[in-house]
Structure 1
Amino acid sequence: MTSRPRIAMVLGDPAGIGPELIARLLADPATSEQAEILLIADRDEWRRGMQVAGVELVLAETDTLGFAPGAPRLYHWELDGKPAYPRGASSAEGGRYSLGTLSLALQLAQSGQADSILFGPLNKSSLHAAGMDHSDELHWFAEQLGYHGNFCEFNVLDGLWTSRVTSHVALKDVPAMITPARVGAAIDLIDQALRRAGMASPRIAVCGLNPHNGDNGAFGREEIDVIAPSVTAARERGVNAEGPFPADTIFLKVQGGPSQRQFDAIVTMYHDQGQIGIKLMGFSRGVTVQGGLPVPITTPAHGTAFDITQQGRADPGATQQAFQIACRMGAQRRAAANA
């Protein structure tokens, strides 16, 4: 039995830079040395991605939705009617294509054939136009997998992980959602994910919600009544967590490489509290991990970049990092299944 993880890969929205990025990734010989790869894509979109990227790679096509040792293979899938996808713009066609290829990748994961999934950037407007009625793809993934446990979007940059207690919700709704159960679940999820990624004892920092950490209750009591007790409870469960810390200074404690940081992960209370910090630190290298789901799913964090699509200048750094994480987490998943 091969020791390499099996990764199902899709291009993402054809209107964006996903096809170009996946082409650059697969054209690197080191990629196929690390994993068995099945690319699920319309062959014409794959060829277009290679053309834009300026690379050439011949993938053997397979009629079977499955894996085989050796070089990456292509499973051709196209939308009925084979529409002409708008480039650099959201569309229902792009959304349907994205959901269709992802559905096949999820089937491979559910059947135990795929150890992890890597997808090119998606566009939420396209997904919603295609009929996805969830706020984001993470909730759609959970529904497709029939998963009803806790899950959260993680963002990863050069080994630093961030998660959040609330995500795609209005800021006015955030305070009511900061509960002991939700804070505790967010801490546990990122601890478990880092362990699955190969880290034995992750160091986790937890942010406060209010300015100056609430300033001893002057600007709110969430830190005193909810967040601090949740951190204490996590430590009692064996999680190496500390906090709460003021959100405007916590990222100063994670500058530099892994050996220089005080923490390996940060749990934030709402979306932009963590996203702004980590994207400023390295926008072109950030990775999104769909955390807590039964299968590891990764993607570059930067989005479809409609403004530069078809120009051949998209930076593949985040896609390469997403692939590395998919390999590590996929290998851990396979090892656990075979134990």
Structure 2
Amino acid sequence: MASATTVRPKIALTLGDPAGVGPELAAKLLARPETLQKAEVYILADRSELADAEAAAGVTIPLADEPTPGFAVLLDDNSAPAEPIVKQKVSVEAGARVKHQLLRALAMARDGKIGAIVFAPLNKTSLHLAGMHEQDELRWFATELGHTGVTSELNVLPGLFTARVTSHVPLSQVAENITQPAVVAAINLLHETLRDAGNPAPRLGVCALNPHAGENGNFGREEIDIIAPGIEEAVALGIDAKGPFPSDTIFIAAKRGDFDGVVTMYHDQGQIAMKLIGFDSGVTIQGGLPVVIATPAHGTAFDIVGKGVANLGATAHAFDLAVEIASRRPTSD
């Protein structure tokens, strides 16, 4: 998709969990000439941390003191811990480092200095050890930004976006959290995000909750009483949405190009399919927030840290998607 403007968007980039593959992936991304031509990139890290990331990736990142095409700007606040953070381990120290840099990025977003945040993979357990009380980083971001509107993790592959009505809740609580307003909100959020990403007329498919889409109420009535009315309400708003379709077939249709986006009812209903279709290019967008925030959909991959085999695909896709969407949301700075 082509950007709507030639102005380079302003992106804050953090290295992710220092115990995982995030720093080396960020270094590989920043060493690509095309990355630093697409956007003004502000790296939130200390110089020593960036040097370690460069060494792990075997690259050199071109830096400048001012935004310059082909160069990144390092915002070093000299806050790195005195003792190195242990690699390949969950720790409060690693979580605290991630939080520190993400808070800096959120402050830049609040001040209108950037249009998007891209963060390399983090570890939720380390973040919780470091004091993140929300169930996931999306809710934490919303809290820090004072945002009370609809939010949802959006999972993205090239050519296919997904949103979900419920997310990080136990399966035993999924059905009770599926309401008609929640279905409409998820459909609308996915529709608007696809438009932000350059698709003027998104085609959406909506998953059923129950096997065989409930089979006319034999296996549950959520499709009849909640999901179908939610789809009808979204259609009345001018959204091209169809369903509910059984979740064991909807992604076959999506993969062949019938839909630009799929709304699922719960986390694994979409995540299993998306990771099977394209694990190495999957991206998570923190949907609904006032600032674009994107990250690769995979985790910190402790088992391959330092081996030089971490795949850049998802990180590069996250960056490109953040650039595309942020280019359509100019900052005030």
TM category, shorter: over 0.9
- Name the residue aligned to 2:128: 128
- Name the residue aligned to 1:233: 233
- Name the residue aligned to 2:317: 321
Deviation of 1:187 after TM superposition, in Å, equals 0.5
Q: How does 1:229-268 map to 2 (within 5 A)?
A: 229-256=229-256, 261-268=257-264
Q: Deviations over 1:247-295 (max 9, x none)?
A: 0110100225xxxx00000000000000000000011110000000001
- Name the residue aligned to 1:88: 88
- Name the residue aligned to 1:296: 292
Deviation of 1:95 after TM superposition, in Å, equals 0.4
SS in 1 for 2:328: helix
Q: How does 1:151-190 map to 2 (within 5 A)?
A: 151-190=151-190
Identity of aligned residues (%): 50
Quote the Cα distance in structure 1 between the aligned partners of 2:49 and 2:300.
15
Deviation of 1:33 after TM superposition, in Å, equals 0.8
Query: Paired residues, what number?
Result: 328
Deviation of 1:174 after TM superposition, in Å, equals 0.5
Contact 2:284–2:296 at 8 Å: present in 1 too? yes
Q: Deviations over 1:300-329 (max 9, x none)?
A: 001111110111110000011001101011
What letter is aligned with 1:308? I
Moved more, 221-230 or 68-77: 68-77
Cα distance change, pair 80–19 in 1 and its aligned pair in 2 (3 A): closer
Alignment partner of 1:23 is 2:19: no
- Name the residue aligned to 2:191: 191
Moved more, 40-49 or 288-297: 40-49
What letter is aligned with 1:11? L
Quote the Cα distance in structure 1 between the aligned partners of 2:61 and 2:13.
15
Q: TM-score, normalised by structure 2?
A: 0.95
Contact 1:79–1:97 at 8 Å: present in 2 too? no
What letter is aligned with 1:68? P
Deviation of 1:68 after TM superposition, in Å, equals 2.8
Matching residue within 3, 6, 9 for 1:5: 9
Contact 2:49–2:80 at 8 Å: present in 1 too? no
Deviation of 1:45 after TM superposition, in Å, equals 1.8
Deviation of 1:124 after TM superposition, in Å, equals 0.4
Quote the Cα distance in structure 2 between the aligned partners of 1:177 and 1:76.
43
Deviation of 1:2 after TM superposition, in Å, equals 7.3
User: Which structure 2 residue ranges, 5 or more long, are not aligned?
Assistant: none
Quote the Cα distance in structure 2 between the aligned partners of 1:276 and 1:124.
19
Quote the Cα distance in structure 2 between the aligned partners of 1:328 and 1:11.
21
Q: TM-score, normalised by structure 1?
A: 0.94
Cα distance change, pair 274–31 in 1 and its aligned pair in 2 (3 A): same
